[in-house]
Structure 1
């Protein structure tokens, strides 16, 4: 069994715990919250034995082997490194950190302490993403990657009414790029590596966060188009376009449940299969396997893929003038 603590008592933690509850080697043993009341409420909800309101106490505790971090982006690095320095394994929500410097510091801490560090990017760990990889050769020479993820945020209603919640507060290293754009970028990096150059544009809000944006990425023999927004919905599929066929990823790139290959002769092949488990189950499964096998890095959500994604996002932010307080530390 791998004994888990969780940091964050929000909806994403609920979703993670619901997804991994059937993993045989997952045991939930501790929760952190800044307030004792919230920690106790969450502990009662999930029958958790230990509660903490101090990170250091939790990191030093024998009650956990690993921690799932779902706190605001700007504290990911500090928290993860603190736990890794106490030999705890870390599964950290996307994006791994606020910037390149923090991402590299987390990777260095994992390497130094010999513990697992994995970005909880579920998209690249679900079975259908593996099918995307395994069928990519059918497209012929790939010429374009198009990824779209735009979803109107309920928190944008609050923003328009004059209340700036965390989702649109740059102090938390938040905004549309970090929240939704990363889902478009990370799969591109896993499939095609680091682009030669990027050109970014974005719509900035008065809060200093970005409401939407797009990125054009140039590779040697192909290009990529990425679109994301928290101010409007989009129903466009994502595509990988090749000379012989195009792969269409329906719904949105974050959850590739239905994937087809459309060939030039008009024929269509469905390559996706129904997922037997909820999407976040597979990231938990991968992480536990790494812990049990004594590895410190996934072969899919690798350190390099997380670092390359951080490079792309920081480069894009600089181009559109999106600066976080975390960049100054």
Structure 2
């Protein structure tokens, strides 16, 4: 049983803990929060025995094998860095880091600590329906593009409209639609079609100067992919991948609850399965499998790591194209 520490006591942390428990591979032992009373409350609810409100003590004294990081985006890099330096495996919520420079620094640190593994929690990559789409694409004669949409109204946007600046809508905390829901459709595009030749992002800006919604165009040698993302409105549009006469239709490009293939004659075939009730279950199992047997799953780990690297590069280049900068960015230097 792997021992788990967590940073963050929000709903997504609870969802991951529930998935970890359901997988039968993890035991939550250690909780960090800036408020010790909140850490104590969360620990008691989930059966953890250690709580900390000091990060250095959390990493140096906590009895856990891996840490799940679900803090504001801008803190992911520094907290992942501390974890690696203390010999703890890292599971960091998407986006793993804010830019390419941070990703490269983590790569260097991981090279110096070869026993430590670092995962980006991009949950849909590990789900059955994501892989079934990937397999169906290999059978299609020709791909002519895709339109991938993920828009969900954020309750935090009410605060923005009231004149506040919550973390997820703050440049200081590396927020915005692209860095949140956009990560899902970016993962779809890179995993299914590879890295594009050129990109452009056309955002709408919130009063806090982050992108509250936007459209990205990814140019490939023979087709384009359009990404629609947003946190200030809801979209109920399906997502589609276009073949020559056949099409893959998804109810949602991130949740992938229903996947339908329309053949050249327009006949519909359900190629998906009913998703897990907890969408983080597949990744919780996969991460545990790699940590328990790193040699046996080395190819999977390296593939996920390269995919994470490419998605980070894509997000950075999209922001650069729209002149959206965070405090730690190197400006006007799209990643090669």
Shorter-chain TM range is: over 0.9
C-alpha RMSD of the superposition: 1.7
Q: Deviations over 1:229-261 (max 9, x none)?
A: 1111111111111114110011x2111110000
Taking the aligned partners of 2:190 and 2:197, their CA distance within structure 1 comes to: 12
Count of matched residue pairs: 328
Taking the aligned partners of 2:131 and 2:330, their CA distance within structure 1 comes to: 38
Structure 1: gaps (5+ residues): none
Q: Does 1:255 align with 2:255?
A: yes
- Does structure 1 conserve the Cα–Cα contact (< 8 Å) formed by 2:160 and 2:207? no
TM-score, L = length of structure 1: 0.95
2:48 maps to: 48
Equivalences for residues 106-255 of structure 1 within 5 A: 106-114=106-114, 115-250=116-251, 252-255=252-255
Equivalences for residues 289-308 of structure 1 within 5 A: 289-295=289-295, 298-299=300-301, 302-308=304-310
Taking the aligned partners of 2:178 and 2:222, their CA distance within structure 1 comes to: 25
Taking the aligned partners of 2:172 and 2:237, their CA distance within structure 1 comes to: 31
**Displacement after TM superposition at 1:112 (Å):** 2.3
1:310 maps to: 312
Structure 2: gaps (5+ residues): 332-336
**Displacement after TM superposition at 1:320 (Å):** 1.6
**Displacement after TM superposition at 1:264 (Å):** 2.4
Taking the aligned partners of 1:277 and 1:176, their CA distance within structure 2 comes to: 25
2:334 maps to: none
Q: Deviations over 1:254-313 (max 9, x none)?
A: 111100001221211110011345210111111101100125774486222112111111
- Does structure 2 conserve the Cα–Cα contact (< 8 Å) formed by 1:124 and 1:301? no
Q: Deviations over 1:207-233 (max 9, x none)?
A: 121111111111112211111111111
**Displacement after TM superposition at 1:107 (Å):** 2.5
1:100 maps to: 100
**Displacement after TM superposition at 1:144 (Å):** 0.3
Equivalences for residues 21-32 of structure 1 within 5 A: 21-32=21-32
- Does structure 1 conserve the Cα–Cα contact (< 8 Å) formed by 2:40 and 2:51? yes
1:6 counterpart SS class: strand
Equivalences for residues 11-22 of structure 1 within 5 A: 11-22=11-22
1:36 maps to: 36
Taking the aligned partners of 1:261 and 1:300, their CA distance within structure 2 comes to: 30
